[in-house]
Structure 1
């Protein structure tokens, strides 16, 4: 922090300032309860025109009631700003997760997203922003137990670190991810409050809070642009279901209930995924060149007409010659609109040509005649022959099954070797019988968009973005083509064979090349000793990428133990037992192949454990985590099993080092590394 701090704990004197703050907390909770009761008492029976409006209004009321819930374990306010008399008339504001007002409408708690709350995060001794005092509050189980003052304009006070701020960051975590409204730092706040119109890419190493920043930016945008985003929608995209489960409570805790969550696989779930690609095939299918291959394949269905269309109307026949049909078709192709939209336009264009003929002969047809001609058998037959419908799944299956068809449309784009890599050795009989892979589903989504435009949302948050293929970026980009995005990731944690090499390249595939790239380098979650140890890998896997500089020095947070090979499982179980003596969550991370053996060892030792995605409780705080699912998760204490196994489980050493880097940086309070094999040489000092 940038101002002097003075921490006080609860005294017995009822006249103490802490007692007055507790009284304000009690009064604020009472006011929030009254706000909720006011909404619950609303009678809408006589204010709606029909049952549809009544249902919509009732749903909105129910959402409002949920948003006004008082979570007893969550502090209603966490800070206070006392402005100088020069601004805000010297007023005092309590800063919290939501707005609370009293019976006459005067604010008792100000929403952290309101402009008047911004100095709580950005004011400093150098720039106090007209704030005389900033007060932080400490809580235990929802009860206010301490406060800490910073006098930003008092020259006699010296710069110190906020103890309450550090305690909140280090507070043990049991259950899903928490919000960080009480601990947002100035550089994070700038990103959180950036505007809706622009896309922001956040490069952040482990513990820099990039995921929390992205979620809080959604909450801020919903506050500042609620009507617009209510119409267009918001979406958070995570790497897997375990990760989404971990973060799912952050936005509801901030009063935001309508934000949807998804994985990329969920977005493109046009077919049932039952197969798995080789790494080589997945890389080719995920390459951006496949978009051009697919576009060629779609457009190849269009046939330039060689026969005229003859429309019979009563006793007269109207002829549209082949050359005019060709002109219409080529014009539609040149306009490069969606295949389906062009197919819908073609019969109207042909019918309009017939109408022109009718008018030239002295008739006076209207729009109804044109629609009738467009729906007539002659025009329908011509459209079916010239511009037939395209089934996206059938087209992709043909491309992956028919070597000649693939070669025709991949010429000059994919080499013969690359084509052979993605061709199916034994083509299935039908779309239903095909064992589709995750990469295939993305290709089908691309074709679906070529045929019919994908609906765009107002804002999309894409987390762990470094692991997406170019084609996956395109799939996400279609969901925010007319909106904006928040892209979150760390190039050093890219662990897929197609992981992005640079944010400029990734943003271009996303369709947001103009996006601003912000870098978070200050770590708040991972202890300095742990992040320094993990950062030894950076020069070998992501040279040139800045290491995270942790603000937390925690002596004893790193313990590296070498054990005999025959005693590895027992040593891991012992380390987990030791970690469970501390408060908070425990993560046992191991190479995927080691998980069954460790599961058996934990069971034999009588240690209950969870799988990623299952919520920790005070009774069961240990989670057994395959290294492939560790990304994005955090635990108070981590036991890492056999680092060399994490590396060798990957197809190449660089990817293995990145997987190990992820595993090493999941701990908030302490990391214990257990190994029997020699440590990777890259970890040597």
Structure 2
């Protein structure tokens, strides 16, 4: 106790000095009049001062979260304070070191022993660690001091104590940063080099999304001269998820990073009036009907159109298009003047061959126009010049119309046989497309209906026949819930991304979009050369209690048949509850469970139903009884917290203090739906309740003595 009081007083004095320094520097900067003139040097200086003002204002509330006493070889023991933002001081040693700085990596990578090392620009730095201390400061008040390593004390490090303290906190309606609790395996991913495609398989609750967001902040710090926030993008599963993660990057002092769904982004690039979407009704139909049938992958439009085989077919189409594009005729601007086809072909096939087809078309037409202008100068009279000029203008327009329409939609219609294009052998191109998919796509395209599954092909045609504008290129791409992406989507995005700089993250065990997602990460790894990619597996789950993770692992083991199991953090709480109720008892039992959860200390809770219709009905019934609930139906762009009612497939990526999963029986969660139940179960941080019918799914082993399950109400 005496040691703790001494450490607390030491840190309290250090905090007071730091806050005083921050306050003085912030007042000094605020006292400098803001420059609004046009001198470039002064503008740069003002931008620097503005950044400092914002960083100091941010640091003024919670300046740091950790301390590491480190002695570099040949140096002296120095206390290093780690915070979200670096803060200078009166000496060469900063008062606070930015968590992204090389030396700060010691705070995350050091897990015991006294020696440690880190990579710096000048090479490997080695030394001794004497103390690792976690510090909680909220609104300038020192709340907690925990030593996770102290070389002067006997006994093991207690690195999990502080982590468990933070994990035990309740959730609100936004994802938060984990900068104070980044684990060694997470830090390795965050600090990986930028010119590679990182593929991260992470179990539910392993912090995949948060790690990816911290990685963006690190890349901007480490490569600030080479990349910019505006050229980075996060692809999220839906707009509500974008809102849910929206505060993490600002908390880390990073702004202006693009955040979008693939459908919305692709539609903007293609100039579509509206982004195609499966929509909640379509998703319900898939889950309740299509996915339950034993369809082969080749019969699933999303799987086939997301395959590299489909991309290869489009390549063959573009090859045919290249030779069929040029009108097979001489150009005659007026009678008596002729530009031979062989000359035009030489321009198209030789001089402009390095350019994509649309650029070659533009250059050929521009070259023809320049030739016409030269020929017009040979006109014998003003009258002849006027007449020739008029005819040439008309014939140039007519000749341009003989070239095919090279817009992505027009080309896709030609590829699918909906629109005829001279010189193309349609039957040869689409020979490998399953007839059912071809017929369905043709019917949609005839009505100008574009489905989400068509977007990769449209984007690919756009990149094959035209140049990608520099404003559309990315320095880095993050893809969340990547198990629901197709290989073709990644291949298309790679054409927009510099240096294969990707962070691709997901969980195969949560691949509930069976009709379009991948089965193995190898489907994406083959897109990159071995030295262009790296694979990481995050197996430790920080979200849920041991009881919940053990139960969820059992679903994976018996229902999914996978060995991608989670390793729980030692955080024990309530057992998983199986609520036996059916028919007339269903609603009253839900109410009893919900009342009990509401009486607890929780901020967020969720009622997860099997489909959208059930969610809408349950929301209406409970709202009519006076409960304040938020219905999440796939249309909202904001997660409001509190108690939510939603279908389980819309809960991916979200987490709640307590979760009730309804209708857990063979009819709703059969063998093919085990991944859905796994997703629902792993949304819970502290408590998980399952409302069961008369017969539980066979893979839910409620009687397994190793699973902490209790039947409620208790007898």
Q: Distance in 2 between matches of 1:573 and 1:476?
A: 47
Q: Distance in 1 between matches of 2:525 and 2:657?
A: 33
State how many pairs are aligned.
643
Q: Distance in 2 between matches of 1:603 and 1:624?
A: 11
Contact 1:234 1:458 in 2 (8 A): yes
Matched, 1:528 2:546: yes
Matched position secondary structure for 1:107: coil
Contact 2:177 2:210 in 1 (8 A): yes
Identify the match of residue 17 of structure 1 among 7, 13, 20. 7
Identify the match of residue 619 of structure 2 among 599, 612, 620. 599
Q: Identify the residue that residue 462 of structure 1 maps to in structure 2.
A: 479
Once the two structures are superposed, the pairs formed by residues 442-591 of structure 1 within 5 Å of their partners are 442-454=456-468, 455-496=472-513, 497-509=515-527, 514-539=532-557, 542-580=560-598, 581-591=600-610
The alpha-carbon deviation at position 252 of structure 1 amounts to 0.5
**Residues 537, 338 of structure 1: CA spacing in aligned structure 2 closer, same or farther, 3 A cutoff?**
farther
Matched, 1:93 2:80: yes
C-alpha distance after superposition, 1:64-113 (max 9, x if no partner): 644443378x6321110112374552111111111122367752211111
Matched position secondary structure for 2:8: helix
Q: Distance in 2 between matches of 1:549 and 1:512?
A: 29
Matched position secondary structure for 1:226: coil
The alpha-carbon deviation at position 140 of structure 1 amounts to 6.2
Identify the match of residue 639 of structure 1 among 651, 657, 660. 660
Q: Identify the residue that residue 645 of structure 2 maps to in structure 1.
A: 624
**Residues 30, 382 of structure 1: CA spacing in aligned structure 2 closer, same or farther, 3 A cutoff?**
farther
Contact 2:220 2:229 in 1 (8 A): no
Contact 2:59 2:85 in 1 (8 A): no
Q: Identify the residue that residue 118 of structure 1 maps to in structure 2.
A: 105
Matched, 1:308 2:330: yes
Contact 2:114 2:151 in 1 (8 A): no
Matched, 1:233 2:231: yes
Contact 1:208 1:522 in 2 (8 A): yes
Contact 2:196 2:499 in 1 (8 A): no
Structure 1, unpaired ranges of 5+ = 1-5, 358-372, 429-433
**Residues 259, 88 of structure 1: CA spacing in aligned structure 2 closer, same or farther, 3 A cutoff?**
farther
Contact 1:492 1:541 in 2 (8 A): no
Q: Distance in 2 between matches of 1:526 and 1:201?
A: 24
Contact 1:401 1:424 in 2 (8 A): no
Q: Identify the residue that residue 411 of structure 1 maps to in structure 2.
A: 430
C-alpha distance after superposition, 1:229-273 (max 9, x if no partner): 128711111111111111111110011112121111111123214
The alpha-carbon deviation at position 17 of structure 1 amounts to 3.1
C-alpha distance after superposition, 1:367-389 (max 9, x if no partner): xxxxxx9xx85995697267444
Structure 2, unpaired ranges of 5+ = 117-127, 291-299, 376-388, 705-715
Q: CA RMSD in A?
A: 3.9
Q: Distance in 1 between matches of 2:698 and 2:351?
A: 61
Contact 1:275 1:436 in 2 (8 A): no
**Residues 407, 666 of structure 1: CA spacing in aligned structure 2 closer, same or farther, 3 A cutoff?**
same
Identify the match of residue 443 of structure 2 among 403, 413, 424. 424
The alpha-carbon deviation at position 145 of structure 1 amounts to 2.1
Q: Distance in 1 between matches of 2:688 and 2:140?
A: 29
**Residues 642, 118 of structure 1: CA spacing in aligned structure 2 closer, same or farther, 3 A cutoff?**
same
TM-score normalised according to structure 2 size: 0.79
**Residues 400, 65 of structure 1: CA spacing in aligned structure 2 closer, same or farther, 3 A cutoff?**
farther
Q: Identify the residue that residue 77 of structure 1 maps to in structure 2.
A: 64
Matched position secondary structure for 1:244: helix
Identify the match of residue 250 of structure 2 among 249, 252, 272. 252
**Residues 167, 424 of structure 1: CA spacing in aligned structure 2 closer, same or farther, 3 A cutoff?**
same
Contact 1:585 1:636 in 2 (8 A): yes
Q: Distance in 1 between matches of 2:55 and 2:167?
A: 25
